[in-house]
Chain A
Amino acid sequence: MYNQIIEKFIAAQQAARQAYQDAANFERDMLAGTGTDEPFFAVGVRSAYRQENELEKFCQSLASNIVSRARREFAPLGARLDIENSAEYERAGLDIHEALRKGEIPDLDKLWASLTAFYKGDGGAATAYRQAASRIVRNFGLHRNAEVKRTAAGVVLKKPVYTETSYRSSRRRVGYHSTQPTADCLMGLATFAGKAGNALLAKQLTGINLYELEYVSREKIAMPGLDITLFNDKWEFKFCNELAEALMLFIGEYGQEAMQERH
């Protein structure tokens, strides 16, 4: 079906070129009738290069749109699924530039088929959970120091988050270089919460906007099952016992690869 779109696009390009070519021929005949020696022509026909370039750009954007459709459709509800374009092209054996150079139609149906085969059913969910687990492991440093502080109320995990003074108030805000890792961590936890059946927690975690967030040291964000205490250079995540249990199971199931990593 995607290949059909490309075929139609090529046909449209040729039709458009033919239309302009007809107009150009008409002008040529017309000016030949006036007997001008060196006329210059007003109707421009696009060069072959520009036409091929347009086709290639179209195929590229179609292919990347297919991948982002997979990102949307195969991710479990509320979770983020990272799929890299180039890796998927390689798996499907797709080289758009090369195919077009040979005069073939790049096989985007095959790309969609390979994406479907790989991520459909549990594939997409498993990948998303593995990515979430590895985000959690890396951000809390679980693969480095195995000691986890347990208290009677639950389990405390720490994540370094550097902050800077806000220019508009005396409160602090998340520093530039900490924003992305922290967002990754919260997203991983949200995915985990969704998997653990705590939809409310997942929703609240996704709702935290790090660009807007401003706090004073030791401020606390309380959510069902999880309290986050915000310090100036670290955040403490305090999980209640049952959630901690679920988290350990989750990491045990999906985070083994990330636990093996050495930095």
Chain B
Amino acid sequence: MYNALVEAFRAAQVASADAFARVSALAAQVGAKAVVVPLHVDHPGEFRRFLRRLVASLIDRASNEFGIAGAPVSIDETRIPVNGYPNIWEAIRAGETPDLDRYWRVLAERYEHCGRALACRQMAETLAASLQLDLPNAVRRFTKVTRLRLKAPSVATAVRPMRRIAVEAHAEVRAALLALAAFAQDAGEPALAGCLRQFDHGEAFGPQQRRTFPGLDVLQYNEYWELRFSAALGERLLAFVAQHLSEPAAA
């Protein structure tokens, strides 16, 4: 399938080059040899760029397909040798045309069975890091709620009391929220999952502002956000993280 697309693109390149070559030939025929300067089109470069985009889209598709809905498995394609090159990017850089259908089969073989477990583990790792579960007071249990802390450093905005997530923390907070959403979906709380997916973490907030979602309250402090799960849900989250972190990495 991918190889067919590569062939189609090659054909398009050849067809367009032919069309322009016919113009030059006509110009040469009428004796205006120097009159038409052939346009320079970098066909090999164009082809290489196309291959890179295609491989990126292939890997994107694989990580979506082999992961859990909402938590794509992150695929390390840099360790998969291709045609004697260390990885597929090096092969493309060297001017090879890798067999992409075969590459897809390799990815499928590697990730089809362990993909879901791997995605869960990656989710658990993300959550453990951003909830700082290695700190002694990371978790506090009350009768009705379980309180966790999400690391979220923020900076003051121009409008005085309002604050915003620091630039370098955006990616982590986003990843943590998406992982939580995926967990909620997995745990049978689609309402919470939907809310978390739509939660704009980059929005300015007043300190100690509270956001209320079904089964989860978020209190936004300066240096961290306090997550108050309903007790049962919080226990399930901790159990989820503990279970997937304790499993040995499959891949």
- A residues near B (Cβ < 8 Å) are 1-2, 4-5, 8-9, 11-13, 15-17, 19-20, 22-23, 26-27, 30-31, 34, 36-37, 39-44, 54, 58, 61-62, 65-66, 69
Q: Mark B46-69, 1 if CB is under 8 A from A, else 0.
A: 000011011011001100110000
**22 A-B residue pairs with CB within 8 Å:** A1-B30, A2-B35, A5-B30, A11-B19, A12-B19, A12-B20, A12-B23, A15-B19, A19-B12, A19-B16, A20-B12, A23-B9, A26-B5, A27-B8, A30-B4, A31-B61, A36-B64, A42-B9, A42-B54, A42-B57, A43-B9, A65-B35
Is B61 touching A8 in the complex (CB atoms < 8 A)?
Answer: no
The number of chain B residues with a CB under 8 A from chain A is 33
Shortest CB distance A64–B (Å): 10
- B residues near A (Cβ < 8 Å) are 1, 4-5, 8-9, 11-13, 15-16, 19-20, 22-23, 26-27, 30, 32, 34-37, 39, 50-51, 53-54, 56-57, 60-61, 64-65
Is A15 touching B16 in the complex (CB atoms < 8 A)?
Answer: yes
Not counting A2-B32, A12-B23, A20-B16, a sample of 12 additional A-B residue pairs whose C-beta atoms are within 8 angstroms of each other reads A4-B26, A5-B32, A9-B23, A11-B19, A12-B22, A16-B15, A26-B8, A34-B61, A40-B56, A58-B39, A65-B36, A69-B32
* Chain B residues with CB below 8 A from A44, complex form: 50, 53
Is B5 touching A42 in the complex (CB atoms < 8 A)?
Answer: yes
* Chain A residues with CB below 8 A from B53, complex form: 40-42, 44
* Chain A residues with CB below 8 A from B50, complex form: 42-44
Is A19 touching B57 in the complex (CB atoms < 8 A)?
Answer: no
Is B26 touching A5 in the complex (CB atoms < 8 A)?
Answer: yes
